[in-house]
Structure 1
Amino acid sequence: MISKTTIDNVFETARVEEVIGDFVQLKRSGSNLKGLSPFTDERSPSFMVSPVKQIWKDFSSGKGGNVVAFLMEHEHFNYPEAIKYLAKKYGIEIEETQQSDEQKEQANERESMYLVSEYANEFFQKRMHETDEGQAIGLSYFKERGFTSETIKKFDLGYSPDDWEVFTKAALEDGYKLEFLEKTGLTIVKENKRFDRFKGRVMFPIHSMSGRVLGFGGRILSNTKKAAKYLNSPESDIYHKSKVLYGIYYAKQAIAKEDNCYLVEGYTDVIQFHQSGIENTVSSSGTALTPEQIRLINRLTKNITVLFDGDAAGTRASLRGIDLILEQGMNVKVCPFPEGEDPDSFARANSEDELREFLEENSYDFITYKASLLMDEAKNDPVKKAGLIRDMVNSISKIPDNIQREVYLQECSRIMDINEDVLYATLAQIENKDAKSSGKPQKKKMEVVKEEAAPKVKIDPLYELERKIISLLVLYGREEGEFHDMLLKQNDQGEMIYESEIQEAKVFEKIFLDLQEDEIEFTNEDFKKLFLLLIEKLNSEDEFGVEMIINDIEESQAMKLTDILMEEEQYELHDWDRHDIPVKTKDQGISQYVTQTILSLRRHLVGKKINELLEEMKEVESESDRTDKIQEIMSYTSLSTIISDRLGRVM
């Protein structure tokens, strides 16, 4: 168990904008920061971070909370894992009580797989640095590739001994279960035999965006034809190669800062670029590029530069991934290396300044590069040229933005010396063909489509009014104001008249006393708990801040509190007046707003009671009972009229 002191220290030190900034590209928006949602596939930002309030809200998925809640949602950490991640990031020493054997046993399966992977990572590093075999084979290989000691340490590079089960035996002796060694793919189990998957290979650990080891890539150093040159961990509950980019953990901050990501093919390409100072570089780890990998980059930048080897095979392979990048609405450039060179070899042979200069001068817009490349291939063959033009238009059809698509068509027309109308007609054919194959309605020229009105959201007035009460306590609880209460009294002539009485009080005192007086209880369980907690804290703490409680309450309550705190950042909701739900206006004082909200809640509850009595009256059989019900209804109706009158005066 992590001590309370450590947890408090973590919350005091961690900055939500810094932590989230490691995963999402954030841009300033007034006093807040905004970015694309990391939880949904969206094109325009709806993800907001408040540095002042130290919370975040994702309006597209409804998720929100504090810094720990983000890590739990995004990285699928449990609470202790999130605390440990933050402690490591901010250099906070963790005070932890010793876990019992029973607690260790209760660790979930995914966590067990992570622990096994972390153990393997440390094992491979130690074997490379601390054994003669590791130094002679593994370390010398990396040194020959030009990697410095700092780079080798940074990327956790290691070596798996050339022995059938030396790793497996060591892991079992240290208490790790064979079940999880097999599930992570580190150990292969066949009948009664077991052996190390990565026997005799140099090891490249593959990290998640938060730095956890998900799997490994291993390169064999012997010249045997029976074994694959590179071997990756198999798919598992923690490692999905289509959703992972090699180097993303080390590159994420540089990608966001440079607002560009260099995409290469192999592990050594990434490492060599990082060593050369070009840290905004990642790799698809030798697999075909996937939409999930592109979306991973999209959270950090809209710009990708694809780097590929200076040969025909490298060029073709990279061009295939471009359509996929365009489909995700990203801006893509391409940078080919000279014949016989790849990113690794070129970075080794040139200084950082020379490398940066080369990348700047040889990064072409995809349309310019692809057009010139294809035209070189077609030369004077009209049939081939027609096919290549269709290929170009097909790539342009993947772009979701209409304006960008039109600009590219115009550029394609200029480069290829072909009429724009022909390209537009070809684009329409491709789009209709794609629509037909996917079952979507085909596009028609100049077709006017009348959009159906969006379904109206059903509002629960009682829920919203209870939420307003919590909002008042959170935002204005300790503010003082003059509250004008209209008391109904009898004058000398025996008539009932209103008499104004001014009362000075703090907002939380006024709300608490009024709700107590009317014996009003919250119907929503989360709001009920929050109300009692807020009243307690406001009454006992001289300096109350919502951050004092948001870290200690249940997830459902924290979510509701986050919604309230980020309400100003959300789009303006309409039609509240029709539902008798007050919204604070700029010229309205807090006293007036509090009184209006409480009166609105009273009127709603009285109206609800009247409806209940009317329903009950349908079941009444005796005339005396019926008379009693009518009198009760009239009494509540009179009360409703009085409240409405008072509400009118306040408004």
Structure 2
Amino acid sequence: MISRETIDKVFETARVEEVIGDFVQLKRAGSNFKGLSPFSDERSPSFMVSPVKQIWKDFSSGKGGSVVTFLMEHEHFTYPEAIRYLANKYNIEIEETEVSPADKLEANEKESLYLVSEFAKTYFQESLLNTEEGKAIGLSYFKERGFTNETIAKFGLGYSPESWDAFTQEALAKGYQLEFLEKVGLTIVREDGKHFDRFKGRVMFPIQSLSGRNLGFGGRILTNDKKAAKYLNSPESDIYHKSKVLYGIFHAKQAIAKQNNCYLVEGYTDVIQMHQAGIENVVASSGTALTPDQIRLINRLTKNITVLFDGDAAGLRASVRGIDLILEEGMNVKVCTFPDGDDPDSFARKNSFEDLTHYLENNAKDFIQFKASLLMDEANNDPIKKADLIRDMVVSISKIPDRIKREIYIQETARIMDISEQVLLNTLAQMVQKDISEAGKKLKTEQKAFEVVKNDVPVTGEKLDILSSLEISIISILVLYGNLETNFENIYISFDEEGNEVEVKEKIKCKISERIFLSLQEDEISFTNPLFQEIYNDLIHNYLNNTDFDLVTYMNSLPEEQASFISNLIMENERYTLAGWLEKKQVFVKEKDSEEVLTNLVTETLISLREYLINKLIVDLMQNYSNDAENDLEEIKSTINDYNKLKVSLTHKIGRIRSTYL
């Protein structure tokens, strides 16, 4: 585990503008930098980097945060991977904290498997490029496929010699243990102790994780040996789980996120050839049946999948079953088939980038249209087969979690198949109900609860929106102005010499953070959103206990969810400042604030929260009283009257009546 000291040093040393500048072309904009979003296609730059605050914000996608967050979003690193990347960039030595012997053994073993796999990748590459056998057999094969030297290097393609144990002997000579060679599946050890190379005589395709670590290999045999499998994959291991890996995901991830679409093909060469043709947002299921884990991996990058099928109609019927899995995960799916005799590899090889792009854009069909065109030929005007076809399409629609999408697809199916929409809706309802019944009593209860909540959505949603907005406003004020001092007015009731009530006003000067804290404490107000409450508690603790509180240092110590939330608040404020929207949006900007304006902002926000909560209490009392209990009713009326007086008092404090909340 990386030590806290190393993490702190990384945050202190890394410069957000330098790191992001490696991936995005940035231009100076005042004290900040701006550039085109790396997460979406845009012509006007909306991506902002603040060197002073060491944060970034992408206004086109809504993403933002620290330098680590950027690497996690853009490169899809885990948190430790992002820290290690930055440590390596800035030559920071990584210190590891003490772990238990068992954890250390497990970590060391897993790391050993990665090291062995990485060595194998290098060995196979050198064998391909620097040996006579590799050049004559392996390199010749890749050249015949039309792969350039750049493509071969990019995907780390290699060759395993036609020898029983050439690789294993070399690995052992380099000090790698036979135990790990066997566990990662590169070497097969027989019961008598003899060993041999799993991939002998094959061209090699390294399989990488999302972050680029080598997990395993796919090997293709080049001889006509009918007893040997044409393609052979690494077996399951502690680092390679084929159902959770997609070939090409490391090279495709940025293009998938930017294009907001992923092309899904079947084989290694399909991926490589498409990349070489300029289409980089493409991955393969490596010849295995598509799995939910693989779909979820794509879902981290985009909601849209376009499945590319060979022109061979015989295999389409079986392959199309994967579409239902994609729909079940809530993804949007299209299908594109190539002309008979072509697959993504061959079609990409003989078409230019422009022609390939044009073909994919114009021939990608919605899955309903695709299923209809595919299965209609099988129906062949047979009414029974046509009914089965329609049922098959409704089955696919029933997998979609979103009810609105389901209804739209039902309308489309009714139009294409010339059948009553109501019949399809009834069939869909039966399928959905059957799924619910099979799921058991628990799922039925959840479904019933969902229906109840759904009916209340407009009211509940409105309440949550107002309250969340008020809570966010308070946190935003703390983040932007918590350390500033300003004058506030206290109003309280006293008595004169004759015993009459008099209103007394006094001015006090204090930090804004203190004012907010004391006000909420006075009324025992807590935030309804757990994340907001956690951030509020942490900010107040730091403001009240640390006179040298520094927001940038503080953010670097936060969990990513909290750091991202706070950085978004800051960058929203920066956006208004840079765009000159102060007057248009009535946004309070630190550099422009007068003391009076800042005081009014804090006071109105706090009073708005109080007023909202009082209104909620009144509504709750009115809804819960019993008409049969006369005494209770009188008591409730009296309480409501007191609350209304309090509302008038609050309004009086700011000198005007407001029709809405901040």
Change over 3 Å in CA distance of 1:479–1:282 after alignment to 2 = same
Change over 3 Å in CA distance of 1:327–1:51 after alignment to 2 = farther
* Number of residues of Structure 1 aligned to a counterpart in Structure 2: 539
3-state DSSP of counterpart to 1:171: helix
More displaced stretch, 335-344 vs 377-386: 377-386
Q: Structure 2 CA distance, aligned partners of 1:588 and 1:282? A: 56
The answer on whether the counterparts of 1:161 and 1:200 sit within 8 Å (CA) in structure 2 is: yes
**Cα offset, 1:82, TM superposition:** 2.3
Q: Structure 1 CA distance, aligned partners of 2:450 and 2:92? A: 65
Q: Structure 1 CA distance, aligned partners of 2:92 and 2:563? A: 30
Residue in 2 aligned with 1:284? 285
The one-character-per-residue Cα deviations of 1:573-609 (angstroms, maximum 9, x if unpaired) are: xxxxxxxxxxxxx98547759999xxxxxxxxxxxxx
Paired letter, 1:395 = S
**Cα offset, 1:125, TM superposition:** 1.4
Residue in 1 aligned with 2:641? none
Which one of the candidate residues 89, 94, 107 is aligned to 2:91? 94
The answer on whether the counterparts of 2:41 and 2:258 sit within 8 Å (CA) in structure 1 is: no
Q: Structure 1 CA distance, aligned partners of 2:210 and 2:402? A: 29
Change over 3 Å in CA distance of 1:27–1:11 after alignment to 2 = same
Q: Identity of paired residues, percent? A: 56
Q: Structure 2 CA distance, aligned partners of 1:70 and 1:17? A: 12
Residue in 2 aligned with 1:10? 14
The answer on whether the counterparts of 1:396 and 1:409 sit within 8 Å (CA) in structure 2 is: yes
After the TM superposition, which residues 360-379 of structure 1 pair with which residues of structure 2 at under 5 Å, given as runs? 360-379=361-380
Change over 3 Å in CA distance of 1:398–1:200 after alignment to 2 = same
Which one of the candidate residues 542, 548, 551 is aligned to 2:553? 548
Q: Structure 1 CA distance, aligned partners of 2:105 and 2:482? A: 46
Change over 3 Å in CA distance of 1:27–1:438 after alignment to 2 = farther
Question: Are 2:118 and 1:118 aligned?
Answer: yes
Q: Structure 2 CA distance, aligned partners of 1:196 and 1:281? A: 31
Q: Structure 1 CA distance, aligned partners of 2:141 and 2:157? A: 11
The one-character-per-residue Cα deviations of 1:107-148 (angstroms, maximum 9, x if unpaired) are: 544333333322222222122222222222222211111000
Q: Structure 2 CA distance, aligned partners of 1:111 and 1:65? A: 30
Residue in 2 aligned with 1:404? 405
Change over 3 Å in CA distance of 1:508–1:354 after alignment to 2 = closer
Q: Structure 2 CA distance, aligned partners of 1:423 and 1:106? A: 54
3-state DSSP of counterpart to 1:68: helix
The answer on whether the counterparts of 2:480 and 2:570 sit within 8 Å (CA) in structure 1 is: no
After the TM superposition, which residues 498-647 of structure 1 pair with which residues of structure 2 at under 5 Å, given as runs? 502=507, 504=509, 507=512, 538-539=547-548, 544=550, 546-551=551-556, 553=557, 589=600
The answer on whether the counterparts of 1:306 and 1:332 sit within 8 Å (CA) in structure 2 is: yes
**Cα offset, 1:394, TM superposition:** 1.6
**Cα offset, 1:261, TM superposition:** 1.8
The TM-score, its normalising length taken from structure 1, stands at 0.67
Q: Structure 1 CA distance, aligned partners of 2:518 and 2:450? A: 58
Residue in 2 aligned with 1:140? 140
Paired letter, 1:136 = A
Change over 3 Å in CA distance of 1:256–1:53 after alignment to 2 = same
3-state DSSP of counterpart to 2:189: strand
Which one of the candidate residues 469, 476, 479 is aligned to 2:481? 476
The answer on whether the counterparts of 1:260 and 1:302 sit within 8 Å (CA) in structure 2 is: yes
| Uncovered stretches (5+) of structure 1, i.e. residues with no partner | 34-48, 58-63, 457-466, 515-523, 571-585, 597-645
**Cα offset, 1:285, TM superposition:** 0.9
Residue in 2 aligned with 1:381? 382
After the TM superposition, which residues 344-359 of structure 1 pair with which residues of structure 2 at under 5 Å, given as runs? 344-359=345-360
Paired letter, 2:82 = A
3-state DSSP of counterpart to 2:342: coil
| Uncovered stretches (5+) of structure 2, i.e. residues with no partner | 25-34, 59-63, 461-471, 520-532, 573-596, 608-648, 655-662
Residue in 1 aligned with 2:262? 261
The answer on whether the counterparts of 1:245 and 1:285 sit within 8 Å (CA) in structure 2 is: yes
The answer on whether the counterparts of 2:334 and 2:365 sit within 8 Å (CA) in structure 1 is: yes
Q: Structure 1 CA distance, aligned partners of 2:259 and 2:565? A: 32
Residue in 2 aligned with 1:608? none
Residue in 2 aligned with 1:131? 131
Change over 3 Å in CA distance of 1:469–1:406 after alignment to 2 = closer
Residue in 2 aligned with 1:151? 151
After the TM superposition, which residues 409-488 of structure 1 pair with which residues of structure 2 at under 5 Å, given as runs? 409-439=410-440, 449-451=451-453, 474-483=479-488
**Cα offset, 1:228, TM superposition:** 1.4
Q: Structure 2 CA distance, aligned partners of 1:189 and 1:218? A: 19
3-state DSSP of counterpart to 1:84: helix
Change over 3 Å in CA distance of 1:591–1:193 after alignment to 2 = same
3-state DSSP of counterpart to 1:202: strand
Q: Structure 2 CA distance, aligned partners of 1:468 and 1:375? A: 57
Question: Are 2:325 and 1:324 aligned?
Answer: yes
The answer on whether the counterparts of 1:332 and 1:366 sit within 8 Å (CA) in structure 2 is: yes
3-state DSSP of counterpart to 1:338: coil
Residue in 1 aligned with 2:171? 171
**Cα offset, 1:153, TM superposition:** 0.9
Larger helix fraction of residues? 2
**Cα offset, 1:171, TM superposition:** 3.1
- C-alpha RMSD of matched pairs (Å): 5.4
Q: Structure 1 CA distance, aligned partners of 2:492 and 2:413? A: 78
Change over 3 Å in CA distance of 1:525–1:330 after alignment to 2 = closer
The TM-score, its normalising length taken from structure 2, stands at 0.66
**Cα offset, 1:423, TM superposition:** 2.5
Change over 3 Å in CA distance of 1:374–1:447 after alignment to 2 = farther
